């Protein structure tokens, strides 16, 4: 079959990652035992993952005109991402994420938008040629809400399906996100979209409620519980792969990227979510965001050993 063509509209950050024994509570000074700067950002992570999984991947994003900006663009290009639409904003810093990873591999993240906040609806309009040439558009919430809304609308007008990774949680909710073809939040993001307390409803119920808001399908990421697929035909849980995580930072990004690639290939939604579960599990086994994004060969080998 033809190579999948995916346009990513989203964020690119430099991740400053510190390993800690446990997450600090307010007023606590916690000793870290490792520090690294690793390219990340939800949009960039997903772009790298799509490229490694064999898709022709275009990326619409903004970096700063600082040292990080140049390094981020080079890293994307080296991973096979097409970066013609990744521009540097003069006098603006690149996006930064400060990430703590504890001994269990769980993470806590603080993001400063930097140049990501300068990606505008006009930039989306200027990239309509890329959109018209894509099989799907993948986007997240680390760029301005008006840019997300314009992307969904432009893709709908162009007849191109959209896959929205609804992270990080954002209030108030922009109703435009319910116009996505596939909405893929995690549990906390689903609760935020529904305006309820995290943990107050089971994943299946949240997926159904989100489906009723307008998307054609919902694929809810529920960590070790697996993933929930909800569409007009079914509500089904796809079990997670049992692993011992090293770093969960970009597991959701690997999941969403693999889901997008499989959907473009024509894979059934449940089967696509099963493959996406494998991609998310693989990402948990390597430290760092973009370094943990699996290749298609990695994914095939992992699935074969876990059947």
The separation between CA 168 and the C-alpha centre of its own chain, rounded to angstroms, equals 9
The 3-state DSSP composition of the chain as helix, strand, coil percent (nearest 5) reads: 40, 25, 35
Question: Alpha helices of the chain — where are they, by DSSP H?
Answer: 42-52, 67-78, 121-126, 128-132, 145-158, 187-194, 203-212, 251-265, 269-283, 296-305
| Backbone φ, ψ for residue 213 (5° rounding) | -80, -15
Question: Does the annotation mark 253 as catalytic?
Answer: yes
**Alpha carbon distance 3, 229 (integer Å):** 25
The separation between CA 248 and the C-alpha centre of its own chain, rounded to angstroms, equals 13
> Which listed residue (125, 253, 268, 298) is catalytic?
253
**Pick from 66, 77, 8, 7: nearest CA to 37:** 66
Q: Which residues pair with 111 in a beta bridge?
A: 97
Q: Which residues pair with 35 in a beta bridge?
A: 18
- Given strand 32-40, what is the order of strands in its sheet? 32-40, 13-20, 95-101, 107-112
User: Which active-site residues does the annotation give?
Assistant: 253
């Amino acid at each position: 079959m033809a190579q999948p063509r995916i346009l990513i509209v989203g964020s690119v950050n430099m991740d400053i990652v510190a390993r800690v024994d446990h997450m600090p509570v307010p007023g606590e000074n916690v000793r870290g035992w490792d520090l690294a700067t690793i390219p990340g950002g939800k949009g960039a992570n997903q772009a790298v993952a799509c490229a490694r999984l064999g898709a022709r991947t275009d990326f619409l994003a903004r970096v700063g005109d600082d040292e990080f900006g140049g390094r981020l663009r080079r890293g994307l290009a080296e991973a096979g991402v097409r970066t013609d639409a990744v521009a540097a904003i003069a006098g603006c810093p690149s996006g930064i994420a400060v990430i703590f990873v504890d001994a269990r591999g769980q993470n806590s993240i603080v993001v400063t938008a930097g140049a990501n906040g300068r990606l505008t609806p006009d930039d989306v309009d200027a990239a309509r040629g890329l959109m018209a040439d894509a099989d799907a558009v993948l986007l997240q919430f680390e760029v301005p809400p008006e840019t997300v809304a314009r992307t969904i609308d432009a893709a709908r007008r162009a007849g191109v399906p959209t896959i929205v990774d609804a992270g990080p949680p954002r209030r108030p909710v922009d109703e435009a996100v319910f116009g996505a073809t596939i909405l893929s939040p995690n549990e906390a993001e689903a609760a935020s979209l529904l305006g309820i307390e995290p943990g107050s409803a089971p994943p299946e119920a949240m997926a159904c409620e989100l489906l009723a808001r307008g998307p054609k399908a919902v694929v809810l990421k529920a960590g070790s519980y697996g993933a929930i697929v909800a569409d007009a035909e079914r509500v089904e849980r796809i079990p997670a792969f049992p692993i011992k995580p090293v770093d969960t930072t970009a597991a959701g990004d690997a999941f969403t990227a693999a889901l997008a690639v499989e959907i473009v290939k024509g894979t059934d939604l449940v089967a696509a979510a099963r493959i996406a579960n494998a991609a998310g599990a693989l990402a948990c086994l390597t430290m760092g965001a973009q370094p943990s994004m699996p290749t298609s060969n990695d994914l095939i080998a992992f699935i074969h050993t876990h059947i």
